[in-house]
Structure 1
C-alpha cells in the first residue's frame, strides 16, 4: 500500500513513518507534504497513492481547502490536535480520524479500517458547498492566554506561558508559575482547563490532580510502580508524578 502523509510537524511525520515501518513493513510512504499549496500541487499532478494520512491544520491553512470540487479516489485518515466535532458529520472520504498526541494503538486501528475498506472504495466528489460548511464549522480553537489568580489579598493576571503547572488540592485549583515558590488560586477546575481552555499541544494532564506545561518540564526519571517522577521549573515541594496508565501516552505527547 502506498501512503501519502500530509503533515507540517517533522516529529509527527517521523512518528507516523516509524509506526508504519514497525507494524506495516509492506506499506510504503511514497511522499510527504507540509502545506495546502504542496497538497494542491500533488493532487493536480495526479500522484499515485492508496491512502492519505492528513493533518487538518497546516502551516498555510486548513487542508480541506485542497479538496474542493475534486473527485478523490483514495480514502483519508485525518489527524488533528483539535476537537473532532466537524468530522462527526464528514461522511465523505474521511474513513477515520486520530487525535494528537498520536497513540500507536489508535493509529493501527485506523489502518485496519483502511485495509478493510480500500479494496471496495468508491471515489467521491468534494463539492464546494461541503468544503465551505467544513471551513465554517471547523475553526481553530482560541485557548486561554492569561489567568486571573488570587494570592492572599492580591489579585493579578498570570500569562499562560508563565505557568509551570496547575494542580488541585482539597477541591481548590492552583496555578504555579515557572521559577516561583507560590501557589495562586484560580477559579477554573482541572476538567475545565483540560477540556476547554488549554492548548493540548502545550499542556498535559499527568494524573487526576496535575496538569503540566511542557515548557515548565526540566527532567524526568523512573518512579515506583512504573510511574514517572517529573522535575518542574518551579520551587513547590509537590511530587509531580505521571500516573502509570498515562506514561505511554505522555511519552508520545512529549515526542510530538
Structure 2
C-alpha cells in the first residue's frame, strides 16, 4: 500500500500514521502534505498511490481547491472536524468521511469499506467482458427526440455541469448522465478510455497521439481541430490500453 496523508495538524498526522501502521504494517506513507500548494505540487507529477487520507481545512485554504484541478489516481478518505462538507467530499473521489476525533474502530470500518470497494472494482474488471454496456443514447432536440448510436460518438466531454457527446459529424449533444464518472462506468472499457478529468475517447476515432508536456500526451481525434491532452495520471494507462 502506498499512501498519502494530507494534514496540517502534526498531532492529527501522527495519530493517523499510528493507525495506519497498526492496520497495515507493510504500508508506505509516500508523503505528508500540509498545504494546498503542496498538494498541487506533489500531484503535478505522475504518482502511483493506492489511497489518500485528507483533512479539508488546510493552512492555505480548503483541499477541494486543489482537488478540483487534479485527476487523482486513487480514492480519498476524508478526515475532518467539520460535518458540513459531505457533498464536496464525495464529489472529490471521497469514499469515507471520518469526523475527528475518530477512534481506531471507526478507522478500521473505513478501511474495511475501502477493501470492499477495491474487491468490487477488481471483480468488475474481471467480469467486464460479460457486462452489458451502453449502445445508444436518446437525445432531445427541439423537433423531438433522436437516437444517437454510441458507435457514432467520437468522444465525450464534461462542460458547464453537463455531459456532451460529440458525433462523427462534429456536432455536440447533451446526454442524461450526471457525471463523467457515471458515464465512464456505462461504457465498454475495451472501446472507451477516460483521458483526463473531463474527456473520454472512442478508440475508433483515434487519429494519432504524441508527447505534449512532461508525462502528458496530445491525442488527436478525427475531425476535432484541437488535440485532447491526457492528465499525467492517465498517460501511462492510455498507452497500456492501446496495447490491449
* TM-score where L is the length of structure 2: 0.47
Highest RCO, 1 vs 2 (Cα 8 Å, sep ≥ 6): 1
TM-score normalized by the length of structure 1: 0.45
